[in-house]
Chains A and B, each alone.
Chain A
């Protein structure tokens, strides 16, 4: 029952996201054609214009008809053609940039969550002891540093000044992506600085959240009862206290992981990292509506999917969620 409800919920939300994504450009003044015409400064012939209009789906069909056309295209995996990169399709651009973002932001998000949670757990367990009084302020400070600022700093010193790491892109320009050790090593080399700027600034919030939850949970009766029963300290900390303290963070983690698809616009921009965020920024500056629309669609659907998956996992983590229908 729980699963069916969540699945229905998910499907409805995806439909809403798709519909909004369709409607939004239609509510805006102008259309991509006008942008293209303005850009070409009147150099497009009327026949070419006609062809482009057909390709971009600009016609006088009623809105509902366009809506069904749009759904039909979506089902066939067609997200349209990019204006700025004409005639490359939006699908191709997303397919090329998404993996870079997913690996970079996904891995750093998971690492930040794991490291932050671990530090927060131990900090709360040894509240006001040495470990806590060092880790708390340290990560809180690093967490309040803007990632882009740290990125610029790292870029300046480690790449520009000392040249330890490459300055731009995700791999050596000129290479083409392949599954060779050389290429993978090269890609890791390129990812270190952007990953560090995200990781160092990302740990703090996870640590703080876990520490706060854990401090509350430690006061709960079941933790004292576990201690009273003479369970080993490690067991009390991990399977009684932390196991419960982590629950509220799981939801937050899913949302953050969902955001990974949206990319890190500033970080990717700074390192010219060819991920989704970089493409989105490019699309905005060049008024590439189809590309923006495609990226937004992917972001919203993946966000919803991430939440759906966590809903499914959450009942495994918290048996009460199924019974009470609470949870994420």
Chain B
């Protein structure tokens, strides 16, 4: 399935400047997303997933800096773009559906004018009428009555607003879209219809997605591959999102899976992961997960684990393949 890479992240580090020095939010992360691929990225709040999304879009706010590594989208190093080239690159090559889409639309402009703004910013030859016609087309694509184009954001429901944002994301038909918790603020039913909408559009328009979420089940459902982030590190990148039961996994990932209640099982024993994730400014030595890991060995406290390939998955852990496998089966 590996075609052309659309996103190549290499050794990416992002730091926040705080009063107590630098806090590393993303720590030497590498991964690649190929054409037509949906890659899920999961992790707890504060693990660096959203920071990474913002780093890719070059939207890091005050005090956050890329301190190492590179990001290439469609082969273009994003951080080598300057001025108007960067402006043009955004949205034509990469788009992003923001976390909490409730507040991403300008409250004082109609949704139509916000779509038109987006189109005209990249298609200087387009007339206002053409842009309006395209906006209508986009609304039909995401199944909203074009009459709603004249609405202000506060007049639309949460689900509709998210559909508008998705329509804006695909407006210029980019080949790569980041979706940062696109359904988090929505209720389950709307969530489901939005997800279906996203997958339908993907089939139709053919773009790759980096799907960021804290919901393991959701990511598993739609992704070709899944990455797991913990304390700024990408601790695991799976070959495929399925086969969860059979594949040995990073102890943290196992913890995440165990924390999900299963409707089909009588077993009501849901286990959370003890402790809480470390803050970005105060990372534990060695493997950052060791204070919470039930299988931690002495070496985990002192030495940072390297990436190893275990059954086709990339895993960053000191435990051997056999150890991981045996504890995976011990769970069942």
Contacts and interface: CB of A to CB of B under 8 A. Distances in A.
Given A224-B98, A318-B108, A319-B108, A229 B103 contact: no
Nearest to A220: B103
Interface stretch (B86-94, B253-261, B289-297): B86-94
Given A221-B103, A235-B117, A229 B90 contact: yes
Contacts of A230: 87-92, 118, 121-122
Interface in A293-328: 317-320, 323
A232 B107 CA distance: 19
A243 B108 contact: yes
Contacts of B68: none
Contact of B103 (A222, A231, A239): A222
Contact of A240 (B87, B95, B106, B168): B106
B107 A229 contact: no
A317 to B, nearest CB: 7
A243 B104 CA distance: 15
Contacts of B106: 222, 226, 239-240, 243-244
Contacts of B61: 219, 224
Contact of B104 (A219, A225, A239, A320): A225
A294 B156 CA distance: 50
B88 to A, nearest CB: 6
Query: Size class of A's contact patch?
Result: 20 to 34
Contact of B108 (A225, A227, A232, A244): A244
A317 B108 contact: yes
Interface string A199-226: 0000000000000000000011110111
B59 A227 contact: yes
Nearest to A323: B154
A228 interface: yes
A323 B156 CA distance: 12
B121 A239 contact: no
B109 A239 contact: yes
Given A221-B104, A224-B98, A232 B87 contact: yes
A232 to B, nearest CB: 6
B108 A229 contact: no
Contact of A235 (B100, B121, B154): B121
A250 to B, nearest CB: 12
Nearest to B100: A221
22 contacts: A220-B103, A221-B98, A221-B103, A222-B103, A222-B104, A222-B105, A222-B106, A224-B61, A226-B117, A228-B96, A228-B98, A229-B121, A230-B87, A230-B90, A230-B92, A233-B87, A239-B117, A243-B106, A243-B108, A247-B108, A319-B107, A323-B154
Given A228-B91, A239-B109, A243-B108, 16 more contacts: A224-B59, A225-B104, A225-B105, A225-B165, A226-B106, A228-B59, A229-B168, A230-B92, A231-B118, A232-B87, A239-B117, A240-B106, A243-B109, A319-B108, A319-B154, A320-B154
